[in-house]
Structure 1
Amino acid sequence: MNTESNLKLDSFVQTNTALTENASVYETNVSTKAQADQFASDLEQLLNLKEEADQPIKWLLGEKNAIKNVLVDKLYPLSNALVCYANSVPSTEILEKASISKNTLRLLSELDLIAFYKQIISMARQHVADLPAFGISEESIVAVETDGKAFEQKRSDLIVLKEDKANAKNEYRLLQKKINNLLNSKLDYSIENLRATHPDFVNYYFAARQKAKGAQRHYDLLGYLKDKATGQAIALGKVSVEGLDLTTHITENGTFRFKHFPEGENRLIIENINYKTLYVPIRRYASERSKLYLEMEAIPLEVI
């Protein structure tokens, strides 16, 4: 999982801790308790999915590649012996099917390598009585076949593991959205309703929740600017805070943001060469992330 996802998961864990430690506060409220229990159950499943999604594959990849190298080292002498046998018979068909350089053999795709080793094993078995003269025995054929099957199995295991990880990541994303919806649309409201009687618990809960909400929001203040008449995004320009050395630019998509913005009362000055300067009073509380949806009035074009 990426850093953002891990931060959000950590905030879920902290939120669940706040709920667990203060279960006595809401356990008589059937609705709130049901929501908290659902959250805890979903979180446990989310943690399991994370473990499955994050399980390493490097060790299995290493084992597969090691077996592949052993297979190639044993397969080449067998194919070379068949080439020598084909030249002595002679047999154009065997020669065409068995002839390969060791370098080419190493560069074959995994599927082509599997097909080639099976083809060589089949031909060797057909001519096993004639191959001892070329240094090949039934035991050496079996050894190649054993390594070939082991390579196939490791390759199959790796494919399954990758698929499991991908499925777990997809299920993780879906469940994370479900948990977000449960918190945002239900549990947050239920806990907020307890503020009058249990303010410390509510503050504790929302401190953990704030981390969850802030995991994807790398800003204190975010603004969206549109043309008052057309509704189109206003591109470019700058936004400053009156009386402070704090300025940011408006993007081509009509947004601006301040990663760090002072709390208290301030006034924004929003400027674009084609629009009337906009002055926006704003009051921000500590740890609050704010969004502004603003409209600017275009400066009329002078008629010449």
Structure 2
Amino acid sequence: MDNASNLKLDSFVQTNTALTENASIYEANVSTKAQADQFASDLEQLLNLKEEADQPVKWLIGEKNAVKKSLIEKLYLLCNGLVCYANSVPNSEILEKASTGKYALRNLSELDLIDFYKQCVGIARQHVADLPPFGPSEESITAVETDGKAFEQKRSDLILLKEDKATARNEFNLLLKKINKLLNGKLDYSIENLRTTHPDFVNYYFAARQKAKGVQRHYDLLGYLKDKATGKAIALGKVSVEGLDLTTHITANGTFRFKHFPEGEHRLIIENINYKTLYVPIRRYASERSKLYLEMEAIPLEVI
């Protein structure tokens, strides 16, 4: 897995730890408990897929190459014996089929090498009684066949292992998207709703969530605003910190961010001309980044 996936997994593991250690806080809430349980189950499957996708292949490549080298050495001797026999008979067909060199054998594709060893073993078995004076024996022919079959098996095992790794990697990426959707679309909101009563747990949870970003740091505090009634993003307005000269604007997509936000307890003042002003208490630790998912209540239109 690449570094980004490993960071994401590390974040998920720590997020799950935060949830497990504080399960008593939210377990009475059926929806939040179900989301946390689903996350834990998906994470376990994700870790298994990672292990499968990260299976090493070098050892099997090494074994396959060692068997291939042995096969080529023995096959070259068998071919020389067949060529000598063909010249003595003479037999131009055997001479054409068996004539080769080590360099040529080494440069055959794996499938061509398999076809070639089978062809030579077949010819040798047809003339086994006449070959001993030229080198090949029943034992040496069997040795070539044994190495050939071992090479085929190692090659097949390697292909299957690579296919399994590729399948696991694809399933990993699909499940990763599913988990991200669960966290970003549901569980993060559910946990954020506990900030008023359990701020330390909420901060702990989101600190774990942010570890997936690695060393990239574009904000200390990030907020998402949506209409309480419609769920649509709230565009424009401003967010300030009570008692501090610290203000930022709400984007057209309903987000706001502070790149540098002081640690400690503060209160955000969120203003939009079409919505009731929102006051949000927040406690932030210097080592964390925080995300807020907030809803604002629209100001009713006056009926004339």
* TM-score, normalization by structure 2: 0.72
Show the 5 A alignment for 1:1-304: 1-212=1-212, 214-215=213-214, 219-220=218-219, 261-263=259-261, 287=289
The answer on whether the counterparts of 2:207 and 2:290 sit within 8 Å (CA) in structure 1 is: no
Structure 1, unaligned stretches of length 5 or more? 222-259, 265-284, 290-304
**How many Å apart are 1:262 and its aligned residue?**
4.0
CA distance in 2, matches of 1:263, 1:204: 17
Partner of 2:224: none
Q: Once the two structures are superposed, what CA deviation does each residue of 1:165-186 show, in whole Å capped at 9, x if it has no partner?
A: 1111111111000000000001
CA distance in 1, matches of 2:210, 2:114: 54
Summarize the Cα distance change of 1:72–1:144 in structure 2 as closer, same or farther, 3 Å threshold.
same
Partner of 2:233: none
Summarize the Cα distance change of 1:218–1:198 in structure 2 as closer, same or farther, 3 Å threshold.
closer
**How many Å apart are 1:102 and its aligned residue?**
1.1
CA distance in 2, matches of 1:204, 1:33: 17
Q: Once the two structures are superposed, what CA deviation does each residue of 1:179-198 show, in whole Å capped at 9, x if it has no partner?
A: 00000001011111111211
CA distance in 2, matches of 1:12, 1:100: 57
The answer on whether the counterparts of 2:18 and 2:205 sit within 8 Å (CA) in structure 1 is: yes
**How many Å apart are 1:220 and its aligned residue?**
3.9
**How many Å apart are 1:66 and its aligned residue?**
0.3
**How many Å apart are 1:219 and its aligned residue?**
3.5
Amino acid at match of 2:218: Y
CA distance in 2, matches of 1:159, 1:216: 37
The answer on whether the counterparts of 1:64 and 1:155 sit within 8 Å (CA) in structure 2 is: yes
**How many Å apart are 1:108 and its aligned residue?**
1.0
CA distance in 1, matches of 2:24, 2:11: 22
Give the secondary structure class of the aligned counterpart of 1:100. coil
CA distance in 2, matches of 1:288, 1:104: 64
Give the secondary structure class of the aligned counterpart of 1:164. helix
CA distance in 2, matches of 1:203, 1:218: 17
Amino acid at match of 2:192: E
The answer on whether the counterparts of 1:4 and 1:216 sit within 8 Å (CA) in structure 2 is: no
CA RMSD of aligned residues (A): 2.0
Amino acid at match of 1:128: V
Amino acid at match of 1:52: E
Q: Once the two structures are superposed, what CA deviation does each residue of 1:27-69 show, in whole Å capped at 9, x if it has no partner?
A: 1111111100000000000000000011100000000000000
CA distance in 1, matches of 2:217, 2:119: 58
CA distance in 2, matches of 1:181, 1:37: 15
Structure 2, unaligned stretches of length 5 or more? 221-257, 263-283, 292-304
Partner of 1:224: none
Q: Once the two structures are superposed, what CA deviation does each residue of 1:104-151 show, in whole Å capped at 9, x if it has no partner?
A: 111111111101000000000111011011111111111110010000
CA distance in 1, matches of 2:210, 2:80: 68
CA distance in 2, matches of 1:6, 1:49: 13
Length, aligned pairs only:
231
